[in-house]
Structure 1
Amino acid sequence: MRNELYSAGIAITGSGSGIPSGRLTNQDLAQMVETSDEWITTRTGIKQRCLTASGESLKTIGAQAAHQALAMAQVAPEEIDLLILATSTPDDLFGSAVSIQTAIGANHAVAFDLTAACSGFVFGLVNSAQFIRTGAYQKVLLIGADVLSRWVDWSDRSTCILFGDGAGAVVIEATSAERDRLLGFELCSDGQLSHTLNLGYHGSEKTIVDSIEVNQGHYQPITMKGKEVYRFAVEKVPEVISKALFHADLTSEDVDWLLLHQANQRIMDAVAQRLSLPPERVISNLANFGNTSAGSIPLALDEAQRAGKLQSGDIIAMSGFGAGLTWGSAIVQWQIEP
């Protein structure tokens, strides 16, 4: 985890967003389930969420985010060596990274999907770094994207108020080991807690010939035990960030920006408080996008960059957490000039 162990470092050189055209407000939800704008806002911090409309897909919003990130980095698609798509909701269960690769013209890249739910972008960032640090690849396009509206039970008030669709992307390039911008990281998972957040398969036995049976079915809508997930996040996220900061030889006092998975404003506030970070140092766009799973961190990162909040040299403590359960943190030093 220390950059002196590697022959190359990494730097994020561009970011982009893929935002669907549909909008679903709290007032709209109040027409669907027993809720209100005040009830949702006070409990989650969410005011609206974006939904993919007709003609849009994971591929379209992922490609949009990719194009923006490439343009900012001034990197041509054919220069990309590796494309990683962090998602839990591909257009094709076999994977959607290759379809985005084709859509943007990254013809020389190898592409694959990575599934770690809401932690996907952080896991993808660490994976990208390893390919670059070992010298295997020079330029990586990392996309975090999800279309959770496909898997929401819109009659379930406890979950339908939370989730939206969206994509974010970054270009990651090789630099010298001395200038490595991934300063430290820590990744975790615990399958014993998987029952708290699921998008599970449900099947039944079907006889195909004589006594030979197969199990066929479909995936069920998202189910979540909100109180358990909240307690998990508030306990584990500050801990994993502290460990990543330790690997980076830093403390929370060195952090300029806290960038968490955009799940619930109360979770973000509680984590910031435990790390003794003031609210003005927390990056949040939850109110406008809701929980976009693997898309949430890169979406918020790109929005903050384009708004001029991020300055070269800023220390950003990122942390994703979600289904699996998985959680992790990456400490990044920003370097893109505004």
Structure 2
Amino acid sequence: MTNFILRGFGLYAPEKVMTNADLEKIVDTNDEWITTRTGIKQRHIAAEGEATSDMALNSSRQALAQAGIDPSELTHIVCATFTPDSVIPSAACRLQEKLGISGQMCLDVQAACSGFLYALQTGRGYLCLEPDSKVLVVASEIVTRRMNWEDRATCVLFGDASGAVVLTGGEPDDGPRVLDIMLAADGALGDLLTVNGGGSAYSYKLGEPVGPEYFVEFQGREVFKHAVRNMTEICEAILKRNGLDKSDVDVLLPHQANYRIIDAVGRRFEIPEERIFVNIDKYGNTSAASVPVALAEAVHSGFIKKGDLVIVPTFGGGFTWGAALIRF
């Protein structure tokens, strides 16, 4: 049986920071309203001319350096994003070029905020087929370029960031092990959270104005309800499948969508607050990048310790959701 080892963790957030006070100047909102409803105090904004693959390059270099792996050793690059540099070529191919390598299989995965777990599971699949593989799994999102800055319900929530891991086979003691991943989706609920503009079902012509459909639109209450229920249920399911109980979990590291969602999942899952990793106050919701950024920060800060069993639930547009079990 293959051991799926996480060899290195990397994160990157753009230099520019937009605080809630900054948002007050451009939209009808205030710090108290944003903080009490979301837990967000600030978010990072990509610089002019900075692309999704540029951010992915920064987080990937950090992960590769920690793993002690040269980019030329990679066999696969899997990039989770719904905000690639371009439709063609993929963000993974752009990243490969910027890493100065060629020949590797490159693939983008689009599962919105669940993208990193979907990409990580894809990497595990390649390792099962080719046990000597060295897979770069990266999530990178410039969500703020898909924001309607006149819509205060959405523009306060999101930020830009990138996170990466290097996934290889190995022995159980070689590093953190991905024990299991469960993924799910329900396309019938897809219209509750959308970015429709630019898709083949929403044709457009040269010179037409850009409408609100080009930006994130969602029904907040419905998304909240499904997120909490599905994240909780899939956590319970993955533990049961592995013969584990809630009491075996040392750290809950959820997708950083909204503090109210994180708190609700923690309560339903009976995890005390001090064992829940939260960094949404600094980054906002960075979609697919949320989980690998949180993982990297939790590892680098010492929040996660050797021997910890970490459960990672996520939820995103599609609807998609999932959970991972990682033994550090």
Instruction: Provide, for residues 75-103 of structure 1, a one-character-per-residue CA deviation record: whole Å limited to 9, x for no partner.
Output: 11011111100000000112110110111
* Structure 1 stretch displaced more, 224-233 or 249-258: 249-258
| 1:328 paired to 2:315 | no
Secondary structure, aligned partner of 1:238: helix
Mark the CA change 1:330 to 1:106 in structure 2 (over 3 Å): closer, same or farther: farther
**Which residues of structure 2 form unaligned runs of 5+?**
none
Unaligned segments of structure 1, at least 5 residues: 1-6, 207-214
Aligned counterpart for 1:268 among listed residues 262, 265, 283:
262
CA–CA separation in structure 2 for the residues paired with 1:310 and 1:281: 9
Counterpart of 1:3 in structure 2 is none
- TM-score, reference length from structure 2: 0.93
Alignment partner of 2:117 out of 104, 110, 122: 122
Structure 1 residue 201, shift from structure 2 partner? 2.5
Match of 2:159 in 1: 164
Counterpart residue number, 1:149: 144
| Amino acid corresponding to residue 122 of structure 2 in structure 1 | N
Aligned to 1:211: none
1:63 aligns with 2:57: yes
TM-superposed CA distance for 1:35, in Å, is: 0.9
Separation in structure 1 between the aligned mates of residue 33 and residue 145 of structure 2, nearest angstrom: 24
Q: Look up the match of 1:315.
A: 309
How many Å apart are 1:240 and its aligned residue?
0.5
Residue deviations 1:120-158, cap 9 Å, x none? 001111111111123355211100111111110000010
Instruction: Measure, in 2, the Cα distance between the counterparts of 1:326 and 1:52.
Output: 26
Contact 2:235 2:323 in 1 (8 A): yes
Helix, strand or coil for the counterpart of 1:195?
helix
TM-score (norm 1): 0.90
Once the two structures are superposed, what CA deviation does each residue of 1:153-210 show, in whole Å capped at 9, x if it has no partner? 000010000010000000111124898922222111001111110000264577xxxx
Q: 1:134 corresponds to which residue?
A: 129
Aligned equivalent of 1:201: 197
* Compared CA separation, residues 216 and 286, structure 1 to 2 (3 A): closer
State the distance in 2 between where 1:244 and 1:273 align: 18
User: What's the secondary structure of 2:305's corresponding residue?
Assistant: coil
Give CA deviations for 1:229-288 in whole Å, capped at 9, x if unaligned: 000111111100111112222111111111111100010011011111001111111001
Q: How far, CA to CA, are the matches of 2:250 and 2:99 in structure 1? A: 34
Q: Which residues of 2 match residues 34-53 of structure 1 at below 5 A?
A: 34-53=28-47
Correspondence 1:162-311 to 2 at 5 A: 162-176=157-171, 181-201=177-197, 203-204=202-203, 220-311=214-305
Q: Is the 8 A contact 1:204 1:216 kept in 2?
A: no
Q: 1:52 to 1:216 in 2, by over 3 A?
A: closer
* Cα distance in 2 for residues equivalent to 1:176 and 1:295: 28
Asked if the contact 1:151–1:222 (Cα under 8 Å) also holds between the matched residues in 2, the reply is: yes
Cα distance in 2 for partners of 1:204, 1:192 equals: 22
1-structure distance, mates of 2:11, 2:52: 12
1:109 aligned residue: 104
Report the number of matched residues: 321
Helix, strand or coil: the match of 1:298?
Answer: helix
Match of 2:91 in 1: 96
Query: Partner amino acid for 2:190?
Result: S
Identity of aligned residues (%): 38
How far the C-alpha of 1:9 sits from its partner, in A, is 1.7
Counterpart amino acid of residue 313 in structure 2: S
What is the RMSD of the two structures over their aligned residues, measured on CA atoms?
2.1
Alpha-carbon contact 2:2-2:131 (below 8 Å) kept: no
Distance between the aligned counterparts of 2:180 and 2:71, measured in 1? 28
Code of the aligned partner of 1:314: D
Distance 1:181 1:205, change over 3 A: closer
